Amino acid sequence: MKINILFSPISVDELYFTGKTSVVIDALRATTTIITALENGAKEIIPVGTVEFAVKVSGGMFGWQTLLGGERNTKKIEGFALGNSPLEYSVDIVAGKSVVLFTTNGTKAITKAKFSSELFICAYLNISAVAKHLVMLNHDLEIVCAGRSNNFSMEDSVCAGKLISEIQKLNNDLILSDSARASHSLSKSLGKNILHMMRESEHGKILIENGFEEDLKFCSKLNYSSAVPFLNGQAIKLLPDNVNSSQSALEDKTN
């Protein structure tokens, strides 16, 4: 299995993903939020690349069954029901709802990679679950770090490296690109203490400044979830196995 990592989706165009198996990571916070919302019973997450499109989609297609969520520069967008803190996406708020989500980096990365054959959503919360599914598929992989403003972000790259480690436990026959080897190495050095690494990261510092320290604690929980969200057309849903296990007994994953 060949694994490549993009430290930001800026380096490729949309067609690059055609026919590929991709995994999108935006650990602080979009992909953590998506996993949490689906675990807490959201029907689906509709990732969008612009605020304008978010408003358009939520108004016309779904009406009252829809929640608008997202952020610009870490803060909730005016008129939106929810921001981008996973802690907001509790069972009582999201169960049964379609969530239209716009975030500065994460949902843009997802929409850029939308032509992938398969596209999965990963964060620290579900690394092990995603790794198991990817090993079962046994396809070459593109791991897309959302990054920050088209640049490298430590927390996404370390998460990608930990995903490689988990895959390697189950399949030792990996061919890693330069970026994949770099992330793998970083996850073993700077990624030993995830919360500490997040606090020291550029994005982590900004979130703390803006009052979101609790989000860092939540986003750093390793393998807290067995959810494997995937893009199905325009919407992100849980793999069928996940739906059976997590929606049979809704336990609030924001706690």
Binding residues for its own copies, rule: CB under 8 A, are: 5-8, 10-12, 148-154, 157, 177-179, 181-182, 185-186, 188-190, 200-203
Nearest-approach distance from CB 110 to its own copies, in angstroms: 19
Nearest-approach distance from CB 206 to its own copies, in angstroms: 12
Nearest-approach distance from CB 63 to its own copies, in angstroms: 39
- Per-residue b/e over 5-25, b at no fewer than 16 CB within 10 Å? bbbbbeeeeeebbeebbbbbb
- In the complex with its own copies, the residue whose CB is nearer, 83 or 147, is 147
| Length of the chain in terms of residues written | 255
d(CA 57, CA 68) in angstroms, rounded, equals 9
Nearest-approach distance from CB 38 to its own copies, in angstroms: 28
Nearest-approach distance from CB 48 to its own copies, in angstroms: 22
d(CA 234, CA 111) in angstroms, rounded, equals 9
Nearest-approach distance from CB 19 to its own copies, in angstroms: 19
CB 35 within 8 A of CB 23: no
- In the complex with its own copies, the residue whose CB is nearer, 11 or 117, is 11
Nearest-approach distance from CB 187 to its own copies, in angstroms: 11
- In the complex with its own copies, the residue whose CB is nearer, 95 or 195, is 195
H/E stretch holding 4 reads strand 2-6
Which of 154, 128, 132, 119 lies closest to 23 in space, CA to CA?
A: 119
d(CA 227, CA 239) in angstroms, rounded, equals 8
What is the edge-to-edge ordering of all strands in the sheet holding 44-47?
75-76, 66-72, 98-102, 44-47, 235-238, 229-232, 118-122, 21-25, 141-145, 2-6, 175-176
Structure tokens at 98: 């379609």
- In the complex with its own copies, the residue whose CB is nearer, 66 or 157, is 157
Which of 91, 127, 129, 121 lies closest to 255 in space, CA to CA?
A: 91
- In the complex with its own copies, the residue whose CB is nearer, 13 or 92, is 13
CB 130 within 8 A of CB 228: yes
